[in-house]
Structure 1
Amino acid sequence: MEQAQPTPARHNRLIGKLLLMVAGAFVFAFALVPLYDVLCAATGFNGKTAGPGVASGVIRDGFGIGGLQTAAAPASKVDTGRTVRVEFTGTVMPGLPWDMRPLTISLDIHPGELQQVSYLVRNTSNRTVVGQAVPSVTPGQAAQHFEKIECFCFSQQTLGPGEAREMPLAFIVKPEVDRNISHITLSYAFFSIDGQRQTLTSSREAR
């Protein structure tokens, strides 16, 4: 008994379904990124730090450091009995034509002190570019105690052709950080928002 041969129409439907599955999986993978960041920010997993907020025991007093409206920690919350060294690094991911470097390489602080540093970021292209910084902290156990009060990573950053800008960061390493931790590294990875939009658009058009 001869087996029925698939018709061209069936082939086309099968190929269409497979393309839809691939495109759907691709979009789903991108959707997982913000969900993963939310999980990491809440738990400190993989060194992700929390978003904007006020640290435990920190009050708003309207005092601005470097023109920022920030929070200040009460003196009773500052642990002057120990010092933690915080180092700052930055990376620009492929597809983003920017230069990035911290203006402060490292800082020795007392846990509970409000500190501010800045990163210098420059657009090396001849077009306007939008980028987004994603922070991470090592060791991972310190991430939940690294409180960013003001940070350029809270929103997308737009730089015009050849534009350079100092981007400030105000932060507190909370006194609750493990006493065995004496060295913390804060790293930023800057991604191209335009590149992500183009990738998502291409994936939708493939459906």
Structure 2
Amino acid sequence: MLGKLTVVVGLMFGFGYALVPMYNAICNALGINNLARSELLVNGHSGEKVNTQVDPTRTITIEFDTNARGPWDFKPAVRSLDVHPGELTTVMYEFKNTQDRTMAAQAIPSYAPKQAMAHFNKLECFCFNEYTLKPGETKQWPVVFVVDSKLPKDVRTITLSYTFFEVGGKIPPAPAEKVAAGKQEPKS
């Protein structure tokens, strides 16, 4: 009995090792699961990795619009950029707190045209978080995005607009003397 079980275990072990070459032979014969091989054969350069999801036949213009709700500076490094669908792109935004107090703020994005929203994929964005900026402090944050190649062909321009606003309750109030100086006594 022990000898039979040892033979069965040996056969199972050998069959496990034989599965990998059998799987590769079946995939090559049927032409399936050749993703790694297609990356090596693109443009005849073996070893060079190429993003095969980029559509070089189309160019989409991305416009960057900013709005600030409060006394601070908020702007993108570039106002517009041409990208190919599937291309990974990074754009930097600069924020400066021009107030003389610390503030907490967040940005909310919007898109035009509306159907572009489903095809504009942000991988990294400052709009995902709230930020605290000290008086006079300047920071830069990136937006890393990819425009999906399934974007309708009639969309040639996408406007990404951010509204940057102060988040209440997260920061200390303005100094009392400045609040008092800003208020006027009502006349009776």
TM (norm. structure 1) is 0.57
Counterpart residue type for residue 79 of structure 1 = D
1:90 and 2:66 matched: yes
- The aligned counterpart of 2:73 is 99
Match of 2:94 among 116, 120, 143: 120
Q: Which amino acid aligns with 1:82?
A: R
1:172 counterpart (139, 146, 153): 146
Match of 1:153 in 2: 127
Highest Rg: 1 or 2? Answer: 2
Consecutive unaligned residues of structure 1, counting only runs of 5 or more, are 1-73, 199-207
| Correspondence for 2:3 | none
Indicate the RMSD between aligned Cα atoms, in angstroms: 1.8
User: How far 1:196 moved relative to its partner?
Assistant: 8.7
Which residue among 54, 61, 67 is the counterpart of 1:78? 54
CA offsets 1:25-65 (integer angstroms, 9 cap, x no match): xxxxxxxxxxxxxxxxxxxxxxxxxxxxxxxxxxxxxxxxx
Instruction: Give the C-alpha shift of residue 97 in structure 1.
Output: 2.7
Percent of aligned pairs with the same residue? 45
In 2, Cα distance between equivalents of 1:105 and 1:191: 20
Secondary structure at 1:170's aligned position in 2?
A: strand
Q: Determine helix, strand or coil for the equivalent of 2:168.
A: helix
Q: Secondary structure at the match of 1:76?
A: coil
- What's the counterpart of residue 184 of structure 1? 158
Distance 2:135 2:129 in 1: 20
2:33 equivalent in structure 1: none
Q: Distance in 2 between matches of 1:122 and 1:101?
A: 9
Helix, strand or coil: the match of 1:75? coil
Q: How does 1:51-66 map to 2 (within 5 A)?
A: none
Q: In the alignment, what sits opposite 2:136?
A: 162
Aligned to 1:67: none
